[in-house]
Amino acid sequence: MTVLKKYRLLLVDLDGVLWRGTEVLEDNVSALKEFEKRGYRIVYMSNNSSKSRREYARRIRNLGLNASRDNVYNSGYLTALYIVERGIGDTFVIGENGLIEELILQNIPVIVDKDYVDYVVVGLDRYLTYDKLSKALQYLLKGAYFIATNTDHVYPVGDHLEPGAGVIVSALSTALKREPDFIAGKPNTWIVDVVLRKYGVSRDEVLIIGDGLETDIALGSRASVDTLLVLTGITDSRCLEKSSYKPTYVSKNLLEVVDDIL
């Protein structure tokens, strides 16, 4: 596999690539250090909105990689950017502090009690209550714009799966009998639009690296961006065989392809 050399920007998923729960995926991390040395621009992405970019950047830096708020894109930040582009307005949030931090950083008013809001944003919320769901529903019935940070059904924690943001989104979709107006995270192509614009690269200079077929690989196929599936996370070769999503490249881990990206 020596065809990877045309890329300039690597769009790298976090969970299942840098780490799996609390376990660090050392082979992938050393490969990324090598890509940094060779001058690749590396941008990190995650569908998890519960932590802010600041927190993710710190965790990535602790692995010895370069990261700051500027090269980390999570679904909370992507949601905030979308609201800025559509027009800032009062926003009711189901979500955790990381999501609220990203909204406030973009000067979006996060509302706790008001008769009407412009947006209802729904992300992963491990402190979800019936009262929050009920409030969100009232706002949506009055016409608020419905944004999901992402619709992942589950996410991995250690050796098991926990309910993802998609579960909460579905609860509201069921009540409303309609889907969200906008989904900020993968596989929506919004992240690719934002990254291409910010870094001034073209689609064929970007390589998406991730472990998820329905997120990372689906994103690549929707956005016409090449993908490298690493088998260090939630996908094994059997899942891959059964899936309709086909990555451009597959590798056991990132270290295996270091010499192909030159």
The packing angle between helices 190-199 and 75-86, to 10°, is 80
Q: Which of 46, 43, 56, 35 is nearest to 11 (CA)?
A: 43
Give min distance, CB of 56 to Mg ion, in A: 13
Q: Does 16 bind Mg ion (CB under 5 A)?
A: yes
Q: Does 152 bind Mg ion (CB under 5 A)?
A: no
- Candidates 7, 10, 13, 140; binder of Mg ion (CB under 5 A) is 13
Give min distance, CB of 16 to Mg ion, in A: 3
Q: Does 166 bind Mg ion (CB under 5 A)?
A: no
Burial class (CB in 10 A: 0-12, 13-18, 19+), 129: exposed
Give min distance, CB of 164 to Mg ion, in A: 12
Nearer residue to Mg ion within complex by CB, 4 or 45: 45
Q: Token digits for 239?
A: 């899942």
- Candidates 15, 96, 118, 152; binder of Mg ion (CB under 5 A) is 15
**How many residues bind to Mg ion according to rule CB under 5 A?**
5
CB 226, CB 208: distance < 8 Å: yes
Give min distance, CB of 174 to Mg ion, in A: 27
User: Which residue is associated with the tokens 């710190």?
Assistant: 58
- Candidates 123, 212, 220, 247; binder of Mg ion (CB under 5 A) is 212
Cis peptide leading into residue 187 (ω within 30°): yes
Q: Which of 137, 148, 144 is nearest to 180 (CA)?
A: 148
CB 163, CB 140: distance < 8 Å: no
Nearer residue to Mg ion within complex by CB, 10 or 172: 10
Give min distance, CB of 204 to Mg ion, in A: 23
- Candidates 101, 125, 211, 226; binder of Mg ion (CB under 5 A) is 211
* CA quadruple 234, 239, 240, 245: dihedral sign: negative
Residue with the shortest CB distance to Mg ion = 16
Residues forming contacts to Mg ion in the complex (CB under 5 A) are 13, 15-16, 211-212
